[in-house]
Amino acid sequence: MSAGLLTAGPAVAEPTKSNPIASLINRIADVDQTLTDLSDAVAAKQEHVNKALVDFQNAMAARQLAVSANAGAKKSLTAVGAEVERAQREFDDFVRTVFRQGGQPRRDDRVRRLRRSVHGPREAVGRRPRDGAAAARGAQAPGGP
């Protein structure tokens, strides 16, 4: 006995005038195949719609993040702009003070505060750092070693 591979194919019966059942079976098979094809097409379109919906939802979420980031950036920009204006006013006051005093500013608190804001709290304007030997001499007690 030989084993053969059997495959199913479309059921085709020869419609004849004498066999109306065969004709009806063929029409039902054709309609069933058309329904299957339409169902596959609808499933493919539904998949495309679902992908588009996910893309739309992701775009809306990204838009919301961008709106939030934009609001934060505007707030930061406003704060920085106000700080720049404040610093400019302080600088203008400082320059006016220097010109009024003939180029020699008084060492009042405003000048010290401005110098600290520009150069940091530990660095003084106009002072040169001491070299190692000068620093060592300055650290020795009076009277020497």
In a domain, 53, yes or no: yes
Query: Residue 57: left (phi > 0), alpha (psi -120 to 50), or beta?
Result: alpha
| 142 is a domain residue | no
CB contact at 8 A, 110 and 93? yes
pLDDT for res 116:
67
Q: Is 108 part of any domain?
A: yes
Of residues 136 and 24, the one with the higher pLDDT is: 24
pLDDT digits (tens, 9 = 90+) for 72-123: 999 999 999 999 999 999 999 999 988 888 765 555 666 666 666 666 555 4
Is 136 a domain residue? no
**Which amino acid makes up residue 91?**
F
Q: Is residue 57 part of a domain?
A: yes
Based on the structure, what is the number of domains in the chain? 1
Structural domain harbouring 81: 21-124
Would you give the distance in Å from CA 138 to the centre of its chain? 55
Residue 104 lies in a domain: yes
pTM above 0.75, yes or no: no
- The SS3 of residue 1 is coil
Q: How confident is the model at residue 124 (pLDDT cuts 50, 70, 90)?
A: very low
Instruction: Flag whether 46 is in a domain.
Output: yes
